[in-house]
Structure 1
Amino acid sequence: MTIKRLDPGKRMSQAVIHNGIVYLAGQVGEPGTSLTEQTTVVLAQIDALLAEAGTDKSRLLTATIWLADMADFAAMNAVWDAWVDPANPPARATGEVKLAAPEYRVEIIVTAALS
């Protein structure tokens, strides 16, 4: 079975496709912007990577969402709920973690099935 890597770099690829599944790297927004802005950017990046891989958010299998502060949970969910396909929501987990830089407020990781 082949493995295809999208936007590979020295440390990581933005996505890896194997056996009909697309695995996205954690996506982050513009550091220092609001949680709403960061979440909006992250979801747009996810849409773009899924499209490049040949699939879309209706095929999401899982989502892991990391928040720097769980106080942002409702604000993140407001953006997420407007974006996610209501007929095909993924299995999802959300937790609070210390992200790579203090200016990051959210990081989202998803897997999706190919179309």
Structure 2
Amino acid sequence: MSDITRYEPGKRMSQAVAHGGLIWLAGQVGAPGESVTRQTEAILANIDRLLAEAGSSKSRLLQATIWLASMDDFQEMNAVWDAWIDPKNPPTRACGESRLATPDYRVEIIVVAAAG
């Protein structure tokens, strides 16, 4: 049985959990009140950081789930996503509209990656 490694554990949740060759990241958000572009940039930078800490990278992404406070922001978020993603190794992806934790959050991204 392989070990479970928790990254940045807190009282309520860990920011990432690695087990069995997979890495799950908690939903990542940017600074409340910032534009969709700025929030998405901050989220993707944090994903890069957490994956690196766990020994992986965006090239090893398996799945991404993106929540937008409004689907009106789809193109703005995609402009940042498309510039960031490894075009040779895109993950599966779903994107939908959802009420986020506060109205100041406009984007939340959850990813799963392979380790290594």
The aligned residue for residue 47 of structure 1 is 48
Supply the distance in 2 between the matched residues of 1:17 and 1:33 (Cα, whole angstroms): 30
1:32-86 Cα shifts (integer Å, max 9, x gaps): 0100000000000000000000010000000000000000000000000000000
CA distance in 2, matches of 1:42, 1:67: 13
Quote the Cα distance in structure 1 between the aligned partners of 2:94 and 2:48: 19
User: Between Structure 1 and Structure 2, how many residues are aligned?
Assistant: 115
Per the alignment, residue 76 of structure 2 pairs with 75
Gaps of 5+ in 1: none
- The aligned amino acid for 2:23 is V
What is the Cα deviation at residue 90 of structure 1? 0.1
Q: Give distance in 1, aligned partners of 2:20 and 2:34.
A: 37
Cα distance in 2 for partners of 1:61, 1:101 equals 28
SS of structure 1 residue aligned to 2:80: helix
What SS class does the counterpart of residue 12 from structure 2 fall into?
Answer: coil
Give how far 1:109 is off: 0.2
Residue 107 of structure 1 corresponds to which residue in structure 2?
108
Q: TM-score, normalised by structure 2?
A: 0.99
Structure 2 unaligned blocks of 5 or more: none
Q: CA RMSD in A?
A: 0.3
Within 2, Cα distance between the matches of 1:32 and 1:76? 15
TM-score (norm 1): 0.99
Q: Give percent identity, aligned residues only.
A: 68
Deviation at 1:28, TM superposition (A): 0.1
Q: State the secondary structure of the residue aligned to 1:101.
A: coil
SS in 2 for 1:72: helix
Partner of 1:27: 28
Q: After TM superposition, where is structure 1 displaced by more than 6 Å over at least 4 residues in a row?
A: none
The answer for the alignment partner of 1:66 in structure 2 is 67
The SS at the match of 2:74 is: helix
